[in-house]
Chain A
Amino acid sequence: MRYIRPLSIEDAVGQLAGSAGAAAILAGGSDLLVRMKGGFAEPELIVDIKAIDGLSEIRETAEGFSIGAAVPCAVLGENIALKKAWPGVVEAAKLIGSKQVQGRCTIVGNLCNASPAADSVPALVAAGARASVVGPAGRRTIPVQSVPTAPGKTSLAKGEIIEAILLDKREPRSGDAYLRFIPRTEMDIAVVSAGVNLTLDEHGVVKSARVALGAVAATVLLVEEAAEVLVGSRLDEATLERLAKVCAGACRPIDDKRGTIEFRRKVAGVLAQRAATSAYARAGGK
């Protein structure tokens, strides 16, 4: 086993691409080290990306925000501009693990761990976030929902690194929100979760919407029918009823140690309603 700390993204990509055995990227380590401890991962090479220039920064650009792959989630919560523009994304990122884990974990790590229950992913999917990928073949930008393909699996090729998550500049009258259900108040994996992102017109009518559900299928679901329900509405009671029904119907959950099929269906709808209501209020809707 080797541990390296490259200073450039090109070097990191080259080392990853050239590694003979399994290689792992280390940013926060809050998933990788747990897997290593349990004997589920035994990488030949660990590439610590935290010394790479720019990867530990959040940049605000003309297009929006670029969140470096090594930025701990705690730092997201300390960025006032990001929190103002994308409160749902930040609240999702801030729900991962404990304060201790927050000091280490990253949203890119959360995305690449490819758990259907990852907290930040439904919020990122709802936000329409994109991932900037660097690999042996160069740079490409892809929607975040195309990164996880199945539990524990991603679409990234050997040698590819997500260097940053890109979030658009906000249109006026926009708001997003993320809610999850856990049995305790902290320290749990989402049993079911929902992220909603809305933009309203001048009259408070939903102009565009994205609704994503977590922990109800093999990957995070972007529920387009749910968005259709919201568009054109002011989130009246009937709309919320239909939203819950559509979300519950879109779920393909399983029974497992964290919850039952029935529970996940029912609560997915409840959380979508609550997240939509919160996003609507944040967008200035009444």
Chain B
Amino acid sequence: MAGIAVSTTINGDAVEYLCQPDETLLDVLRDRLGLTGAKEGCGTGDCGACSIILDDRLVCSCLVLGAEAEGRRVETIEGMAHGDTLHPLQQKFLEHAALQCGICTPGFLIAAKDLLAKNPDPTEEEIRFGLAGNLCRCTGYDKIVRAVQDAAIVMKGA
């Protein structure tokens, strides 16, 4: 099986890699590029732990082939902070203790970032439905929702 050469942009940087035709973008990110922030919780699009943004659309990277990233823009958790300045969502997740084990956190942050980009002033219900594709088993979601609400306020003021 021949490898496919892919040129793409990840977190603003030009990246090239070779991948197999059946290899998911999640596997490419984790195993070929060392970007292990996206997690595989299920591999079937049911948990959202591998969430990334692909050309401004929130997707599960386990449901995208590595080959499909050709010529596109990929944003992962590793690109969310600017240098050592955390994104307001990252800061609010810390302040609200919106994580316990933290395995779902990168996916939630990416999904929340996408949510607030499309709806800067969401209601609690909109946040809850907007984040329904991300499973968290530790927190009961309470502190996650509060962190997103708080981050939305900060981001509107910014």
Answer whether A and B touch in the complex at a CB cut-off of 8 Å.
yes
What is A's interface to B at a CB cutoff of 8 Å?
1-3, 5, 26, 28-30, 33-34, 36-38, 46, 48, 50, 72, 74, 97-101, 103-104, 185-187
Question: Do the beta carbons of A29 and B63 come within 8 Å of each other?
Answer: yes
Residues of B within 8 A of A (CB): 1, 4, 20-22, 24, 43-46, 48, 51, 54, 57-60, 62-65, 67-68, 70, 111, 114-115, 129-134
Tell me whether A101 and B67 are in contact (CB under 8 A): no
Task: Assess the B67–A98 pair: CB atoms within 8 A.
Answer: no
**Count: A-B pairs, CB below 8 Å:** 90
Contact of B63 among A5, A33, A38, A50 (CB under 8 A): A33
Contact B21 A100 (CB under 8 A): no
Given contacts A29-B65, A97-B133, A187-B132, 15 further A-B contacts (CB under 8 A): A2-B21, A29-B64, A29-B68, A30-B63, A34-B44, A36-B22, A37-B43, A37-B44, A99-B111, A100-B51, A100-B60, A103-B57, A104-B60, A186-B129, A187-B133
Are A26 and B21 within 8 A (Cβ)?
no
Contact A46 B21 (CB under 8 A): yes
On chain B, the residues within 8 Å of A74 by CB distance are 57
B132 touches A3 (CB 8 A): no
- Complex Cα–Cα for A37 and B115 (A): 28
Which residues of A have CB within 8 Å of B134?
98
Q: Which residues of A contact B62 (CB under 8 A)?
A: 33, 37
Q: Contacts A30-B63, A99-B132, A103-B57 hold; do A187 and B46 have CB atoms under 8 A apart?
A: yes
Chain B residues near A103 (CB-CB < 8 A):
54, 57-59
Residues in B with CB closer than 8 Å to A50 are 68
Contact A104 B111 (CB under 8 A): no
Q: Provided the pairs A30-B63, A103-B59 are in contact, do residues A98 and B24 lie with their beta carbons within 8 angstroms?
A: no
Within 8 Å CB of A33, what residues of B?
24, 45, 62-65
B133-A99 in contact (CB<8A):
yes
- Tell me, rounded to whole Å, the shortest Cβ–Cβ distance linking B105 to chain A: 16
Pick the 4 closest A-B CB pairs, nearest first: A98-B133, A186-B132, A3-B21, A103-B57
On chain B, the residues within 8 Å of A34 by CB distance are 44-45, 63
Residues of B within 8 A of A1 (CB): 1, 20-22
Which among B65, B129, B131, B134 has the highest number of chain A CB atoms within 10 Å?
B65
Distance from B131 Cβ to chain A, minimum over Cβ atoms (Å): 8
Cβ distance A248 to chain B, nearest Cβ, rounded Å: 30
- By a CB distance below 8 angstroms, the chain A residues around B131 are 99
Docked Cα-Cα span, A38 to B85, in Å, equals: 40
Task: Verify A100–B67 contact, CB threshold 8 A.
Answer: no
CB proximity of B40 to chain A, nearest CB, Å: 10
**Cα(A212)–Cα(B65), bound, Å:** 34
- Give the distance in Å from the alpha carbon of A38 to the alpha carbon of B63 in the complex: 13
**What separation, in Å, do the CA atoms of A34 and B47 have in the docked complex?**
13
Which B residues lie within 8 Å of A38 (CB)?
44
Residues on B with C-beta less than 8 A from A100 are 45, 48, 51, 58-60, 63, 111, 133
- Rounded to whole angstroms, the CA-CA distance of A161 and B103 in the bound complex is 40
**With A1-B21, A33-B63 as contacts: A101 and B1 at CB distance below 8 Å:** no
